[in-house]
Structure 1
Amino acid sequence: MKQDYTDINIVLDRSGSMQSIKDDTIGGFNAFLAEQKDVPGAATITLAQFDDVYEVVYEALILSQAPELTGKTFVPRGSTALLDAIGRTINTTGARLAAMDEASRPSHVIFVILTDGAENASQEFNAVQINQMIQHQRDTYNWEFVFLGANQDAITTAGRLGIQAGNAMSYAASSVGTRAAFKSVAKNMAKMRVNAAPSMAFEEVDRVAQRDAGVEQNMPDAPPRKVQASLKQKTSRQPRKR
């Protein structure tokens, strides 16, 4: 195993519903990419996009050579074959790493899955299969999986796929929410890559950012607004200056 080498895999939803946050997805991804290029250590990156069609934009590319997304390379369309995209990316990554000698394999393998809608078009894989695949890679090879979901209960969706609650976050499908989601992933990944954090688990500050961006308050990971409410009440009770 090669220390200080991270293999990054991004599974990015480009279904038609992503059109409303297209520019922010492009901007958020590009900011994430720029930050990772500044992190010490070697890294390769795979970017897979999906709607009802699966496309590998680039695979195992040296991170410093990875191009930004543009309006031409990220075009929302079609439906959401989420499970097929996850399954195919796991299989191709597993085969690629299996073909490497042990001394050359990465010390960290990180999967980031980002979607704004529910599965509705997969033909090859079902949720039970994906759950088994993810748990196998986690338990056997210590792969790290992150799930970001908008317009859904991301904790429950991730749980069905075998991803622990701490590594899942509901995000607001808005300009602020989308960019904050990528910012959180970039921060947590940078920490893990330099061994400053044991996992990609989201922190309270990440979930608060999504709450403030407007994530639905019925999401189980949305922090309560009690603190803000109490502060507002306290402020309103202050006597007026004469």
Structure 2
Amino acid sequence: MKNKKTLYHFVLDRSGSMSNCTEATINGFNNQVATIKKLQEEFPEQEFEVSLTIFDDIIDHVQSHVRINNFEHLSHSRYIPRGATALLDAIGMSINQIRIANETKILNNEMSIVMVILTDGMENASREFTYHQIAKTIAELEATEKWTFTFLGADIDAIHTSKMLNIRSENVVSFNKGDMDYMMNNVSEGMRQYSQSKSIGITKKNFLDFIKNKDQRK
């Protein structure tokens, strides 16, 4: 297979309001890393890299383009909720970082990108990017069929925000923070199905299509 490399890039809210689900967030992300390590064993012909960006009003690229077997788990010392929500800057800077490092591989159909964005609040602190800029970029990248964007809203209306970002409705879910473990497990399942599809030459567009109810809030 030519397109054998997948970069899984998780963009994770670290703003102050995430403090009531810190433990579940850390454990959930680390469980995703464990899942991708198992996928590397299950699909040895594929290559998996992982990047993690966490954000409040500061954007922190914790680890970038790391082979899955070398990726370090997220620690409590690194994930301490604080500050505001620079959602647009986190997305825009993450996209730019990926393109600078991997544009040639993506254009040559040697690599695909899965970006998962998780937040519990509305944009209120970005300085570099606007909704219009991010929405335009996401639409252009998804049209290449090499990029898949997923948006998860914890205790917020993710559908409304994702429309402003041009993210496909099939890849958007609203959920309760109390169900963080459940939601993170769904993301892991999405990655498993994505890898299965890629093994037969299909880059899956609908990352969470197995979740029929897109508003899981009670």
- TM-score, normalised via structure 2 length: 0.88
Equivalence for 2:33: 33
Deviation for aligned residue 1:47? 0.5
Matched, 1:157 2:161: yes
How far residue 3 of structure 1 moved from its aligned partner, in angstroms, is 2.7
SS at match of 1:121: coil
Distance 1:206 1:68, change over 3 A: farther
1:58 to 57, 63, 66: 63
Q: 1:178 pairs with 177, 180, 184, which one?
A: 180
CA distance in 2, matches of 1:102, 1:81: 29
Once the two structures are aligned, what percentage of the paired residues are identical? 33
Q: Hey, what does 1:69 align to over in structure 2? A: 74
Aligned AA (1:11) = V
CA contact (8 A) 1:87 1:130 kept: yes
Contact 2:148/2:207 (8 A) holds in 1: no
The one-letter amino acid paired with 1:201 is F
Give the drift of 1:204: 5.1
Counterparts of residues 41-56 of structure 1 (less than 5 Å): 41-56=46-61
CA displacement 1:51-103 (0-9 Å, x = unmatched):
00000001100011111111111111100000000000011101111254866
SS of residue in 2 equivalent to 1:195? helix
User: Partner of 1:135 in structure 2?
Assistant: 139
Name the aligned partner's letter for residue 129 of structure 1. Q
Residue type at the aligned position of 1:33: V
User: Would you say 1:116 and 2:120 are equivalent positions?
Assistant: yes
Note the C-alpha offset of 1:206. Answer: 6.7
- Which stretch shows the higher mean deviation, 199-208 or 136-145? 199-208
CA contact 2:151–2:162 (8 Å) conserved in 1:
yes
1:195 is displaced (CA, Å) by 1.0
User: Structure 1 residues 38, 206: closer, same or farther in 2, change over 3 A?
Assistant: farther
- 8 A Cα contact 1:97 1:105, kept in partner: no
Please tell me whether the aligned partners of residues 13 and 49 of structure 1 are also in contact (alpha carbons under 8 angstroms).
yes
Is contact 1:4-1:194 (8 Å) kept? no
- State the distance in 2 between where 1:44 and 1:104 align: 16
Matches of residues 207-226 of structure 1 in structure 2 within 5 Å?
A: 207=213, 211=216, 215-216=217-218
Q: Is the 8 A contact 1:4 1:193 kept in 2?
A: no
Per-residue displacement from partner, 1:184-234 (whole Å, max 9, x unpaired)?
A: 1110111111217733432455748x74xxx14xxxxxxxxxxxxxxxxxx
Kindly name which structure, 1 or 2, has the bigger radius of gyration based on alpha carbons: 1
Aligned length: 209
